[in-house]
Chains A and B, each alone.
Chain A
Amino acid sequence: MIPRISIVGRWLATGAAALSLLACSQGDARPKSASAKAPPQPYARDPFPSTYRAYPGVPTLVRNVTVYDGEGGRIDNGQVLFADGKIVAVGQSVNAPADAQVIDGTGKWVTPGVVDIHSHLGDYPTPSVQAHSDGNEATGPITADVWAEHSVWPQDPGFSRALANGGVTTLQILPGSANLMGGRSVVLKNVYARTMQAMKFPGAPYGLKMACGENPKRVYGSKSRQPSTRMGNIAVDRATWAKAQSYRRKWDRYDADGGDMPDRDIAMDTLRGVLAGEILIQNHCYRADEMAIVEDMAKEFGYKVTAFHHAVEAYKIADILKANGTCAAVWADWYGFKMESYDGIGENLAILERAGACAMIHSDDENGIQRLNQEVAKVLASGRRAGIDIAPQVAWKWLSLGPATALGIADRTGSLKPGKMADVVLWNGDPFSVYTRPEKVWIDGALLFDATDPKRRPVSDFELGQPGSGDVK
Chain B
Amino acid sequence: MKRALLLLATMLASPVAAQTVAITGATVATGDGSAPIENGTVVFQNGRIVAAGPGIAVPAGAQVIDGRGKWVSPGFVAGFSDLGISDAAGVEESNDAGARNAPFNAAIDVAVAINPAEVKIANERLGGVTRALVAPEAAGSIFAGEGAVIDLGDDPDAVTRPRAFQFVELGESGGRLAGGSRPAAYAMLRDALAQAEDYRRNPAAFGGRERMSLVKRGDAQALLRVLDGSVPLVVHVERASDILTVLALPRDYPRLKLVLTGVSEGWMVAREIAAARVPVIAAALADLPAQFESLGATESNVGRMRAAGVQVALASTGNSGGEHNLRQYAGNLVAIARLPGHTGLAWGQALAAITSGPAAALGMDGEIGSLRAGRRADVVLWDGDPLELSSAPTAVWIDGRAQPMNSRQKALRDRYLVPTEGALPKAYER
Q: Which residue numbers of A lie inside 8 Å of B, CB to CB?
A: 126-129, 157-158, 161, 165, 214, 315-319, 333-339, 341-347, 351, 355, 366-367, 370-371, 374, 377-378, 380-382, 384-388, 428, 432-437, 451-452, 454, 462-463, 466-468, 471-473
Contacts and interface: CB of A to CB of B under 8 A. Distances in A.
B412 A343 contact: yes
B285 interface: yes
Nearest to B283: A367
A345 B388 contact: no
A363 to B, nearest CB: 13
B295 to A, nearest CB: 5
Interface of B: 87-91, 119-120, 123, 240, 265, 268, 285, 287-292, 295-300, 318-322, 324-325, 327-328, 331-332, 334-336, 338-342, 387-392, 409, 412-413, 416-417, 419-420
A370 B90 CA distance: 25
Contact of A466 (B295, B335, B390): B295
Contact of B287 (A165, A374, A380, A437): A165
Given A339-B88, A378-B389, A468 B296 contact: yes
Contacts of B91: 338-339
The interface residues of chain B, by DSSP majority, are classed as loop
Given A341-B88, A467-B265, A127 B389 contact: no
A473 B340 contact: no
A437 to B, nearest CB: 5
B90 A337 contact: yes
A164 B387 CA distance: 22
Given A351-B416, A377-B389, A433-B388, A129 B292 contact: yes
B88 A337 contact: yes
A435 B324 contact: no
A37 to B, nearest CB: 54
A299 B332 CA distance: 45
Contacts, number: 166
B298 A471 contact: yes
Given A432-B389, A433-B389, 15 more contacts: A128-B291, A129-B291, A315-B419, A345-B416, A346-B409, A351-B413, A378-B328, A380-B390, A381-B392, A433-B390, A467-B240, A468-B295, A468-B298, A471-B296, A473-B288
Ordered nearest first, which 7 A-B pairs have the shortest CB separation? A338-B90, A434-B331, A336-B321, A467-B296, A468-B296, A377-B389, A473-B287
A83 to B, nearest CB: 28
A435 B91 CA distance: 36
Contacts of B288: 126, 157-158, 161, 366-367, 473
A337 B295 contact: no
Contacts of A468: 268, 295-298
A157 B287 CA distance: 10
15 contacts: A157-B288, A318-B419, A336-B88, A336-B321, A346-B409, A347-B417, A371-B328, A434-B332, A434-B389, A437-B336, A466-B296, A467-B296, A468-B295, A472-B298, A472-B341
Contacts of A317: 419
B338 A434 contact: no
Contacts of B334: 434-435
B340 A452 contact: yes
Contacts of A377: 389-390
A367 B296 contact: no
A122 to B, nearest CB: 13
A434 to B, nearest CB: 3
Contact of B340 (A367, A384, A451): A451
Contacts of B296: 466-468, 471
A342 B118 CA distance: 12
Contacts of A433: 388-390
Contacts of B90: 214, 337-339
A435 B89 contact: no
Contacts of B298: 468, 471-473
Given A126-B289, A381-B389, A435 B331 contact: yes
A462 B417 contact: no
Nearest to B120: A336
Contact of A472 (B335, B339, B387): B339
